[in-house]
Amino acid sequence: MDSRTLLKTGIAGSVIAAVCCATPVLVILLGVLGLSAWAGWLDYVLMPALAVFSGITIYALRRRRADAACCTVEVGQNEKRGV
């Protein structure tokens, strides 16, 4: 998977999981749909999802930094000196 796609996935998942953890959006949505009994189990799903997506984001950032660092070429690296 491309590091850019991986980074987008990690950020989007982290934002969605954080919004659902911090605000009652998901609880209200489940109540409207008649599935409010599932609201008690949200912490068991959302907290690990937030941790996983945060890990994906950190991994993608490190991978992107490593890709950028290995491909840098110094100017005049292959030139002969003294010519």
Q: The whole model's pTM is what?
A: 0.70
Asked if the model's pLDDT at residue 12 lies above 80, the reply is: yes
Domain range list for the chain = 3-68
CA–CA distance, 9 with 68 (Å, rounded to integer): 20
For residue 73, the model assigns a pLDDT of 58
Answer positive or negative: Cα dihedral of 40, 42, 43, 44. Answer: positive
Residue 67: how many other CB atoms lie within 10 Å = 10
Phi and psi, residue 68, nearest 5°: -70, -35
For residue 43, the model assigns a pLDDT of 79
